[in-house]
Structures are given as C-alpha cells and as structure tokens.
C-alpha cells in the first residue's frame, strides 16, 4: 500500500467551500419548497420596486465600500483582503441581532 498524501490547506479550503455551497443551496431549495406562499407574494410585487431595491443596494454597497476603505487604509491591506473584510462586515451586520454598525 502506498502512502497517503496529506491534504493541503488549499484542498481543505476548497472542500469546505464546496460543502458550504451545497448546504446553502440545499437550504435555499428547502426554503422555496416550504414557503410557497411567501414566494407567491414576492412574485406579485411590482418590478419597479425590485429595480429600486437593486439600485439602492448598489449605492449602499458603494458608499459602504468607500467608508470601509477609509477605515482600513492605515492597515495597508490589498484588494483581496479589503473584499474579505467588506464581505465579513456586511454579513455580520445582517445576521447578528445586536447591530455592530459600520465599524463592525
């Protein structure tokens, strides 16, 4: 029998990302199938409201991005790290019941 090659850090990260993606897709499918009345109400909303929501969401992301860029400027982080910090900040502000605000 040959020696098993140990898993590299990148392989483990890839595996975790794949598992998380499958879980999120599964939860999304479960939500859609178990909440058909909510989906039906969403389908009845005027398309203009969705367009406005998208526009304001993009504006919010741009403003938040500039604000976060100003906050992290002294740390001299690269674009990838800046994106990760911005994503983590947005994600945590959405799921944590105690609001951290823009500094989160």
What domain range is 38 assigned to? Answer: 1-44
Q: Is 51 left (phi over 0), alpha (psi -120 to 50) or beta?
A: alpha
Chain mean position to CA 36: 24
- pTM assigned to the model: 0.49
Same domain, 51 and 40: no
Same domain, 50 and 99: yes
Number of domains in the chain: 2
Same domain, 33 and 50: no
Residues 25-34 pLDDT 10s:
999 899 888 9
Q: Which position has the higher pLDDT, 85 or 41?
A: 41
Dist CA 67 CA 64 (whole Å)? 5
Q: Supply the DSSP symbol for 78.
A: -
Q: Which position has the higher pLDDT, 68 or 13?
A: 13
Residues 6+ apart with CB under 8 A from 36: none
Same domain, 71 and 31: no
Residues 67-86 pLDDT 10s:
877 887 888 877 777 777 77
In this prediction, residue 101 has a pLDDT band, given cuts at 50, 70 and 90, of low
């Amino acid at each position: 029998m040959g020696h098993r090659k140990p898993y590299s850090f990148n392989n483990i990260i890839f595996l975790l990302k794949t598992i998380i993606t499958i879980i999120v897709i599964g939860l999304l499918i479960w939500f859609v199938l178990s909440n058909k009345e909510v989906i039906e109400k969403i389908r009845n909303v005027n398309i203009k409201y969705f367009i406005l929501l998208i526009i304001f969401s993009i504006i919010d992301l741009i403003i938040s991005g500039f604000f976060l860029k100003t906050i992290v400027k002294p740390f001299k982080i690269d674009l990838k790290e800046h994106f990760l910090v911005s994503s983590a900040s947005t994600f945590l502000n959405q799921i944590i019941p105690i609001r951290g605000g823009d500094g989160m």
